[in-house]
Amino acid sequence: MALNAPVPHALPTVISLKQAFLESQTRLLSRDLTPTRRWRADNAAAVEPLPVAGIDDALLGLAQILQQHARRIYPPQSTRLIAEQIDKLYQTEDETTTWDSDELIATNADLTDEKSIASCPPTWPLSKDLDALPMEAKRYADHVSVLNALVARRAQVHERVEQLRRLSKAIQPFRISDNGLGLQENVVTRGGEVERELERMRMLLVRVSGRIASLPTPNNEGGKESHSIAGAEADKTQQLLREF
């Protein structure tokens, strides 16, 4: 048995999400600037309007300057470093803060980690909000319940995967080819070598039985002994046929 289950895609980490947010914000600073229709209309209606070609050239030069500035000031390495520093600040705050039963969970709690999910209280931790925000409190309790159910399901899946791995390792000696197809020829399986060999033996016994039945019956006394031997052999053959 080969485990060819597709490997699920890795979930985004907290740092990768922060980095993606920072990159999206920096891209806003390097976007091309385009005058609005109202500004263009006002410029066209002016006594001495600015030439359109000059406006486009100025905007093109400004866009190039902004893009160069964004690449120089906000490279991917710096964005990654800033995301890691932000995450580290959250972790430091979480380590130095004592969370009481009436306080919220940590801001940077990783809700894909089993320990973080187990630390979430089953109900909304702020008792003063239970009456003020009943729908939000119910939604929180439902989400925590779903997370706990997913954790239990993931544990079952992991246990099943480990069981299949142990089973695959146990049947490894029975493989007869590199790709893991088939079993040893001496193992009795449906349609295997042993079953085909038994079928050939059955056909052979039928032929032998027919030959024995066609033997002539001896008429002299000397042939009685050989007849009895042939009869005994025929009985054995019939018994073997009945067993098959």
Question: Tokens at residue 23, please?
Answer: 């990159």
Asked if residues 49 and 43 have their Cβ atoms less than 8 Å apart, the reply is yes
For the chain, the distance separating the N- and C-terminal CA atoms, rounded to the nearest angstrom, is 32
Q: What is the mean pLDDT of the chain?
A: 74
Residue 99 is predicted with a pLDDT of 47
Residues 2 and 92 both lie in one domain = yes
Residues 177 and 235 both lie in one domain = no
Burial label, 196 (beta-carbon count in 10 A; 0-12, 13-18, 19+): exposed
Residue type, 160: R
Determine, yes or no, domain membership for 26: yes
* Torsions phi, psi for 44 (to 5 deg): -65, -30
pLDDT in tens, 203-227: 888 888 777 777 766 555 555 555 5
Residue 135 is predicted with a pLDDT of 84
What lies within 8 Å, CB to CB, of 25 at 6+ separation is none
Q: Give percent above pLDDT 90 in the chain.
A: 5
Q: Is the pLDDT of residue 198 over 70?
A: yes
Asked if residues 120 and 146 have their Cβ atoms less than 8 Å apart, the reply is no
Q: 3-state class of 180 per DSSP? A: coil
Asked if residues 94 and 107 have their Cβ atoms less than 8 Å apart, the reply is yes
Residues 120 and 46 both lie in one domain = no
Looking at 97, 116, 151, the residue that finishes a domain is 97
Residues 28 and 91 both lie in one domain = yes
Residues 85 and 147 both lie in one domain = no
Residue 83 is predicted with a pLDDT of 82
pLDDT in tens, 102-126: 445 665 666 777 777 787 888 877 7
SS (H, E, C) 55-82: HHHHHHHHHHHHHHHHHHHCCHHHHHHH
Asked if residues 173 and 167 have their Cβ atoms less than 8 Å apart, the reply is no
- Calpha distance 213→227 (Å, rounded): 11
Determine, yes or no, domain membership for 187: no
pLDDT in tens, 123-155: 877 777 677 777 888 888 888 888 889 989 999
Determine, yes or no, domain membership for 54: yes
For the entire predicted model, the pTM comes to 0.35
Domain that holds residue 71: 1-97
Q: Is the pLDDT of residue 171 over 70?
A: yes
Asked if residues 183 and 174 have their Cβ atoms less than 8 Å apart, the reply is yes
Q: Is the pLDDT of residue 157 over 90?
A: yes
Residues 171 and 206 both lie in one domain = no
Q: What is the number of structural domains in the chain? A: 3
Residues 104 and 93 both lie in one domain = no
Give the residue among 16, 10, 12 at the shortest CA–CA distance from 84: 16
- Calpha distance 233→240 (Å, rounded): 11
- Calpha distance 39→33 (Å, rounded): 13
pLDDT in tens, 35-66: 888 988 888 888 888 888 888 888 888 888 88
Q: DSSP code of 176?
A: -
